[in-house]
Amino acid sequence: MIELFKQPNIDWMGKAKYFYALSGLLLLAGIVSIVSQGGIRYGLDFKGGTNVDVRFAQPPNIDRLRSGLAAQGLGNSEIQSISDIANPNANEVVISLEQKGQGDQALDVSKTQIINALNTIYGASNGSKPDFNAATPTSLAAFLTQRDPLLLSTNAGDRYSQLAKKILDYRDRNKNGVLTNFDDLSNVNGVTPAVQSAVKDNFTLGAFAIRNVEIVGPKVGAELRRQAILVTLYALAGMLVYIAFRFEWVYGAAAVLAVFHDVLITIGFLSLFRFEISLTVIAAMLTLVGYSMNDTIVIFDRIRENNRLLRRESFADVVNKSINQTLSRTLLTSGLTFLTVLVLFLMGGQVLRAFSFALVVGIVVGTYSSFGIAAPMVVAWNRWRGQGLATSTGSAAGSKTRTSSGASGRLAPAGRR
């Protein structure tokens, strides 16, 4: 049997004040970071605006891009380079613009401006030939059907749409959306020299391709923000009720407070590392709420069970013992889940970057808060109650069957610590 610990015997509750101090420090760091950045950085989903994700054939010159955008009256746009470990030279940037006017202005006015600016900078559409890197399956299929380079007599439409799909799949999957040389098309199954030259003669190769466009109106942003906060609060309330029902209300309150602490610290870390809060980050937040709750419940479950068995020991000792007994499970599960989200963070691609970062932080903080925050709070409550109500009629966790004298007798020693 391989074991992480033989018989851990750590006095967790004795270290509660260090845990509180650590949490206070982390919370403070997050608050300082948020305040110094002028508030929480909301993503497009919550503040509204336009994001255009562009991939270039060559590494883009950011200064030239910036001055070109400024020349089109888009001086307030932000340019952010995208690269990740799997793809360090992605030649990709996100150009974002906050929604200026609203009301009757067309929603996509900023998008059109950005694309016009890019066309001006890179001199796209020289001549009247369409850009191959902007071709869609429909447009390419229509072109091929019209030209008929394979001289098909039957089913030409279907066969050319399949061919068009294959060609563009090659462009998008193998060439990341930007073809730089028409000769590469010969690698596509079904492309004959006739097809290749037809495409080559009638298309140009633009210097960039639009990979992603997101436009969110300002009204939607405000609505989504409101919704996200409500969803989180409802979910927390739902959990509070369930735990209060299964254990006791003080356990529910402690668990929810601990989870709240996790969310705040994670938001602080997101701010420290300049991540924006988007809809997917909210999904991550809710995941870590569930995860941290999971961890806390495992420990609470053990406390409930031990409370019945170990009547002679103080409540703090029972809690210590419970944490120690579940320690190897806690570390195993957290370690494995941490590894999982770490892989996601490193390899999940740009879209999942902020999501997985929130989980990486959240799992560490969530695991810590179960024994560092939630459990000490329950102990503190019991101690306070034990002292404040000398003839307590309350009962400890899960001990509803026990007599009240037994409960207070057992709680009193907790105060001695």
Q: How far apart are CA 343 and CA 340, in angstroms?
A: 5
Q: How far is the CB of 156 from another protein (least distance, A)?
A: 16
Q: How far is the CB of 383 from another protein (least distance, A)?
A: 25
Q: H or E stretch including 303?
A: helix 279-309
The smaller minimum CB distance to another protein, of residues 234 and 384, is found at: 234
The smaller minimum CB distance to another protein, of residues 78 and 172, is found at: 172
200 burial level (CB within 10 Å; 0-12, 13-18, 19+): middle
The smaller minimum CB distance to another protein, of residues 261 and 302, is found at: 302
- Please give the full DSSP string across 193-241, using - where no structure is assigned: HHHHHHHHHH-B--SEEEEEEEEE-HHHHHHHHHHHHHHHHHHHHHHHH
- Please give the full DSSP string across 148-204, using - where no structure is assigned: -TT---SSHHHHHHHHHHHHHHIIIIISTT----GGGGGGSTT--HHHHHHHHHH-B
Please answer whether residues 318 and 407 qualify as being in contact, where contact means their C-beta atoms are separated by less than 8 angstroms. no
| Residue in 236, 182, 177 with CA at minimum distance from that of residue 205 | 182
Locate the DSSP E strands across 67-135. 78-84, 87-97
Question: How many angstroms separate the Cα of 2 from the Cα of each of 5, 6, 134, 332, 355?
Answer: 9, 10, 57, 12, 34
Torsion angle of alpha carbons 328, 332, 338, 344, nearest 10°?
-170
The smaller minimum CB distance to another protein, of residues 16 and 141, is found at: 141
Q: How far is the CB of 30 from another protein (least distance, A)?
A: 23
Q: How far is the CB of 214 from another protein (least distance, A)?
A: 5
The smaller minimum CB distance to another protein, of residues 4 and 21, is found at: 4
The smaller minimum CB distance to another protein, of residues 53 and 317, is found at: 53
Q: How far is the CB of 415 from another protein (least distance, A)?
A: 29
The smaller minimum CB distance to another protein, of residues 16 and 52, is found at: 52
The smaller minimum CB distance to another protein, of residues 20 and 338, is found at: 338
Q: How far is the CB of 349 from another protein (least distance, A)?
A: 3
Q: How far is the CB of 289 from another protein (least distance, A)?
A: 6
- Beta-carbon contacts of 69 under 8 Å, excluding residues fewer than 6 positions away, are 75, 77, 79, 95, 114, 117
Q: How far is the CB of 336 from another protein (least distance, A)?
A: 5
